[in-house]
Amino acid sequence: MRAWKKVFAAAAAVVLALCLTACQNTAKDATVFIQGELDATYLGEVSQKYIDVVEGMTQADAEAKFDYNVEAEAQYLLGYLGVELPTDAVYQRAEELVGQIYSHAKYTVADAELLKSGDIAAEVTVSPIEIIPLMPDELFADTWTAVKQESGVSDEEVALMSDEEYQVLDEEYAMRLLDELEGLMDQLSYGEDQVILLQMKEDEDGYYTLVDTGMQKLDEVMIDYTGAYA
Protein backbone atom coordinates (compact mmCIF):
# COMPACT_ATOMS: atom_id res chain seq x y z
CA MET A 1 0.00 0.00 0.00
CA ARG A 2 1.36 3.36 -0.96
CA ALA A 3 2.20 5.62 1.97
CA TRP A 4 0.07 8.74 2.31
CA LYS A 5 2.22 11.72 1.47
CA LYS A 6 0.26 14.05 3.74
CA VAL A 7 0.03 16.44 0.81
CA PHE A 8 -3.03 18.11 2.19
CA ALA A 9 -2.18 17.94 5.89
CA ALA A 10 -0.72 21.43 5.82
CA ALA A 11 -3.91 22.67 4.22
CA ALA A 12 -6.13 21.30 6.95
CA ALA A 13 -6.34 24.70 8.59
CA VAL A 14 -7.34 26.33 5.30
CA VAL A 15 -11.09 26.17 5.05
CA LEU A 16 -13.56 26.89 2.33
CA ALA A 17 -15.63 29.87 3.36
CA LEU A 18 -19.21 29.16 2.31
CA CYS A 19 -22.35 30.90 3.46
CA LEU A 20 -24.95 28.29 4.26
CA THR A 21 -27.68 30.91 4.18
CA ALA A 22 -27.16 30.96 0.41
CA CYS A 23 -27.36 27.24 -0.23
CA GLN A 24 -27.72 27.67 -3.95
CA ASN A 25 -24.06 28.79 -4.06
CA THR A 26 -22.56 26.33 -1.59
CA ALA A 27 -22.23 23.34 -3.92
CA LYS A 28 -21.09 25.55 -6.78
CA ASP A 29 -18.35 27.10 -4.66
CA ALA A 30 -17.33 23.65 -3.43
CA THR A 31 -16.89 22.50 -7.03
CA VAL A 32 -14.69 25.53 -7.72
CA PHE A 33 -12.69 24.75 -4.59
CA ILE A 34 -12.10 21.08 -5.40
CA GLN A 35 -11.18 21.81 -9.01
CA GLY A 36 -8.86 24.59 -7.89
CA GLU A 37 -7.28 22.47 -5.17
CA LEU A 38 -6.44 19.69 -7.61
CA ASP A 39 -5.25 22.05 -10.33
CA ALA A 40 -2.96 23.87 -7.90
CA THR A 41 -1.63 20.68 -6.35
CA TYR A 42 -1.03 18.54 -9.43
CA LEU A 43 -0.70 20.98 -12.33
CA GLY A 44 0.60 24.09 -10.64
CA GLU A 45 -2.29 26.07 -12.10
CA VAL A 46 -4.07 28.64 -9.95
CA SER A 47 -7.32 30.37 -10.82
CA GLN A 48 -8.68 33.52 -9.23
CA LYS A 49 -12.01 31.78 -8.68
CA TYR A 50 -10.24 29.22 -6.50
CA ILE A 51 -8.48 31.89 -4.44
CA ASP A 52 -11.72 33.79 -3.99
CA VAL A 53 -13.62 30.89 -2.37
CA VAL A 54 -10.91 30.08 0.18
CA GLU A 55 -10.77 32.28 3.24
CA GLY A 56 -7.33 33.80 3.66
CA MET A 57 -5.91 32.18 0.53
CA THR A 58 -3.22 34.11 -1.36
CA GLN A 59 -1.62 33.50 -4.73
CA ALA A 60 1.57 32.46 -2.98
CA ASP A 61 -0.31 30.01 -0.75
CA ALA A 62 -1.92 28.38 -3.77
CA GLU A 63 1.31 28.18 -5.75
CA ALA A 64 3.11 26.59 -2.79
CA LYS A 65 0.78 23.58 -2.97
CA PHE A 66 2.36 22.37 -6.19
CA ASP A 67 5.92 22.79 -4.90
CA TYR A 68 5.07 20.95 -1.70
CA ASN A 69 3.39 18.11 -3.56
CA VAL A 70 6.24 17.71 -6.06
CA GLU A 71 8.75 17.60 -3.22
CA ALA A 72 6.73 14.98 -1.34
CA GLU A 73 6.18 12.88 -4.46
CA ALA A 74 9.87 13.05 -5.35
CA GLN A 75 10.75 11.71 -1.92
CA TYR A 76 8.26 8.91 -2.35
CA LEU A 77 9.59 8.10 -5.84
CA LEU A 78 13.16 7.88 -4.60
CA GLY A 79 12.09 5.59 -1.79
CA TYR A 80 10.28 3.38 -4.29
CA LEU A 81 13.42 3.21 -6.44
CA GLY A 82 15.47 2.17 -3.42
CA VAL A 83 17.58 5.33 -3.18
CA GLU A 84 18.79 5.40 0.41
CA LEU A 85 20.84 8.60 0.80
CA PRO A 86 19.64 11.09 -1.81
CA THR A 87 21.90 14.07 -2.47
CA ASP A 88 20.56 17.53 -3.23
CA ALA A 89 21.28 16.87 -6.91
CA VAL A 90 19.23 13.69 -6.82
CA TYR A 91 16.32 15.44 -5.08
CA GLN A 92 16.37 18.19 -7.68
CA ARG A 93 16.44 15.70 -10.54
CA ALA A 94 13.59 13.70 -9.04
CA GLU A 95 11.48 16.83 -8.49
CA GLU A 96 12.00 17.93 -12.09
CA LEU A 97 10.90 14.51 -13.30
CA VAL A 98 7.86 14.41 -11.04
CA GLY A 99 6.86 17.82 -12.37
CA GLN A 100 7.02 16.40 -15.90
CA ILE A 101 4.91 13.42 -14.91
CA TYR A 102 2.33 15.57 -13.15
CA SER A 103 1.99 17.76 -16.24
CA HIS A 104 0.12 14.76 -17.71
CA ALA A 105 -2.34 14.49 -14.81
CA LYS A 106 -5.91 13.84 -16.00
CA TYR A 107 -8.99 14.15 -13.81
CA THR A 108 -12.55 15.41 -14.06
CA VAL A 109 -14.45 16.97 -11.17
CA ALA A 110 -18.22 16.41 -11.20
CA ASP A 111 -20.55 19.02 -9.78
CA ALA A 112 -20.53 18.91 -5.99
CA GLU A 113 -23.74 18.17 -4.12
CA LEU A 114 -24.95 19.50 -0.80
CA LEU A 115 -26.07 16.54 1.30
CA LYS A 116 -28.92 16.45 3.79
CA SER A 117 -26.35 16.21 6.57
CA GLY A 118 -24.98 19.57 5.52
CA ASP A 119 -21.78 18.01 4.21
CA ILE A 120 -20.71 18.21 0.58
CA ALA A 121 -19.72 15.40 -1.79
CA ALA A 122 -18.22 15.38 -5.27
CA GLU A 123 -16.97 12.60 -7.52
CA VAL A 124 -13.59 12.98 -9.17
CA THR A 125 -12.67 10.70 -12.06
CA VAL A 126 -8.91 10.13 -12.21
CA SER A 127 -7.00 8.55 -15.09
CA PRO A 128 -3.99 6.93 -13.35
CA ILE A 129 -0.66 7.83 -14.95
CA GLU A 130 1.11 4.70 -16.16
CA ILE A 131 4.86 5.17 -16.45
CA ILE A 132 6.54 3.66 -13.36
CA PRO A 133 5.39 0.09 -14.25
CA LEU A 134 7.24 0.43 -17.58
CA MET A 135 10.47 -0.01 -15.64
CA PRO A 136 11.28 -3.76 -15.47
CA ASP A 137 11.58 -5.18 -11.96
CA GLU A 138 15.08 -6.44 -12.67
CA LEU A 139 16.25 -2.96 -13.69
CA PHE A 140 16.80 -1.89 -10.08
CA ALA A 141 19.08 -4.78 -9.13
CA ASP A 142 20.86 -4.75 -12.50
CA THR A 143 21.57 -1.03 -12.20
CA TRP A 144 22.95 -1.37 -8.68
CA THR A 145 25.14 -4.28 -9.76
CA ALA A 146 26.49 -2.28 -12.69
CA VAL A 147 27.28 0.72 -10.47
CA LYS A 148 29.21 -1.47 -8.04
CA GLN A 149 31.12 -3.29 -10.78
CA GLU A 150 32.09 -0.08 -12.54
CA SER A 151 33.28 1.33 -9.22
CA GLY A 152 35.30 -1.81 -8.55
CA VAL A 153 33.78 -2.54 -5.14
CA SER A 154 32.42 -5.75 -3.67
CA ASP A 155 29.32 -6.19 -1.51
CA GLU A 156 31.61 -6.58 1.50
CA GLU A 157 33.35 -3.29 0.75
CA VAL A 158 30.00 -1.56 0.27
CA ALA A 159 28.89 -2.78 3.68
CA LEU A 160 31.94 -1.15 5.29
CA MET A 161 31.53 2.20 3.54
CA SER A 162 30.86 5.43 5.38
CA ASP A 163 27.65 7.28 4.53
CA GLU A 164 29.66 9.71 2.43
CA GLU A 165 31.31 6.92 0.44
CA TYR A 166 28.04 5.04 -0.01
CA GLN A 167 26.26 8.20 -1.13
CA VAL A 168 28.55 8.44 -4.17
CA LEU A 169 27.34 5.05 -5.40
CA ASP A 170 23.78 5.80 -4.37
CA GLU A 171 23.76 9.02 -6.39
CA GLU A 172 24.98 7.26 -9.52
CA TYR A 173 22.37 4.56 -9.07
CA ALA A 174 19.62 7.13 -8.60
CA MET A 175 20.59 9.21 -11.60
CA ARG A 176 20.67 6.20 -13.87
CA LEU A 177 17.20 5.10 -12.85
CA LEU A 178 15.82 8.63 -13.17
CA ASP A 179 17.34 8.85 -16.65
CA GLU A 180 15.67 5.55 -17.52
CA LEU A 181 12.35 6.86 -16.27
CA GLU A 182 12.62 10.07 -18.25
CA GLY A 183 13.39 8.02 -21.34
CA LEU A 184 10.01 6.33 -20.93
CA MET A 185 8.10 9.61 -20.90
CA ASP A 186 6.99 9.30 -24.52
CA GLN A 187 5.46 5.91 -23.66
CA LEU A 188 3.38 7.32 -20.81
CA SER A 189 -0.22 6.15 -20.87
CA TYR A 190 -3.23 5.96 -18.56
CA GLY A 191 -4.83 3.16 -16.64
CA GLU A 192 -8.48 2.44 -16.06
CA ASP A 193 -10.37 5.46 -14.78
CA GLN A 194 -10.95 5.50 -11.04
CA VAL A 195 -13.89 7.35 -9.48
CA ILE A 196 -13.01 8.87 -6.12
CA LEU A 197 -15.63 10.37 -3.82
CA LEU A 198 -14.43 13.50 -2.08
CA GLN A 199 -16.29 14.79 0.94
CA MET A 200 -16.19 18.10 2.73
CA LYS A 201 -17.24 18.24 6.35
CA GLU A 202 -19.00 21.23 7.81
CA ASP A 203 -17.99 22.59 11.20
CA GLU A 204 -20.15 24.47 13.67
CA ASP A 205 -19.18 27.81 12.11
CA GLY A 206 -20.31 26.82 8.62
CA TYR A 207 -16.83 26.25 7.20
CA TYR A 208 -15.78 23.22 5.20
CA THR A 209 -12.63 21.09 5.01
CA LEU A 210 -11.76 18.18 2.77
CA VAL A 211 -11.82 14.73 4.37
CA ASP A 212 -8.33 13.21 4.30
CA THR A 213 -9.40 9.69 3.28
CA GLY A 214 -10.79 10.76 -0.07
CA MET A 215 -7.77 12.89 -0.86
CA GLN A 216 -5.46 10.06 0.17
CA LYS A 217 -7.15 7.68 -2.25
CA LEU A 218 -7.04 10.23 -5.05
CA ASP A 219 -3.33 10.81 -4.46
CA GLU A 220 -2.67 7.07 -4.45
CA VAL A 221 -4.18 6.55 -7.88
CA MET A 222 -2.87 9.70 -9.60
CA ILE A 223 0.44 7.97 -10.38
CA ASP A 224 0.17 4.19 -10.59
CA TYR A 225 3.40 2.74 -9.20
CA THR A 226 2.55 -0.94 -9.44
CA GLY A 227 0.38 -1.29 -12.54
CA ALA A 228 -2.71 -1.93 -10.44
CA TYR A 229 -4.89 0.11 -12.81
CA ALA A 230 -3.23 -0.70 -16.14
Q: What is the pLDDT of residue 13?
A: 41
CA–CA dist 53, 32 (Å, integer): 8
Q: Do β-strands 194-202 and 113-114 pair in parallel, antiparallel, or remain unpaired?
A: unpaired
pLDDT of residue 135: 96
Residue 58 φ then ψ, to 5°: -115, 165
Q: Is residue 217 part of a domain?
A: yes
What's the full length of the chain, in residues? 230
Residues spanned by the domain of 196: 9-224
Task: Determine, yes or no, domain membership for 163.
Answer: yes
**Helix (H), strand (E) counts: the chain:** 8, 9
Residue 2 in domain: no
Q: Is 163 helix (H, G, I), strand (E, B) or coil?
A: helix
Asked if residue 169 belongs to a domain, the reply is yes
Is 216 in contact with 5 (CB distance < 8 Å)?
no
One-letter identity of residue 117: S
pLDDT reported for residue 12: 40
Please indicate, yes or no, if residue 230 is contained in any of the structural domains.
no
68 in a structural domain: yes
Q: Would residue 71 count as lying in a domain?
A: yes
List the chain residues with pLDDT less than 50: 1-2, 4, 6-14, 18-23
pTM: 0.89
Q: Dihedral sign for Cα 65, 71, 72, 76, please.
A: positive
- Is residue 106 assigned to a domain? yes
The pair phi, psi for residue 109, each rounded to 5°, is: -100, 120
pLDDT for position 206: 75
Query: pLDDT tens digit string along 114-156?
Result: 888 888 999 999 999 999 999 999 999 999 999 999 999 999 9
> By three-state DSSP, how is residue 188 classified?
coil
Residue 118 confidence (pLDDT) = 83
Domain count along the chain:
1
pLDDT, residue 108, reads 98
**pLDDT of the residue at 20:** 36
Phi, psi values for residue 117, rounded to 5°: -70, -15
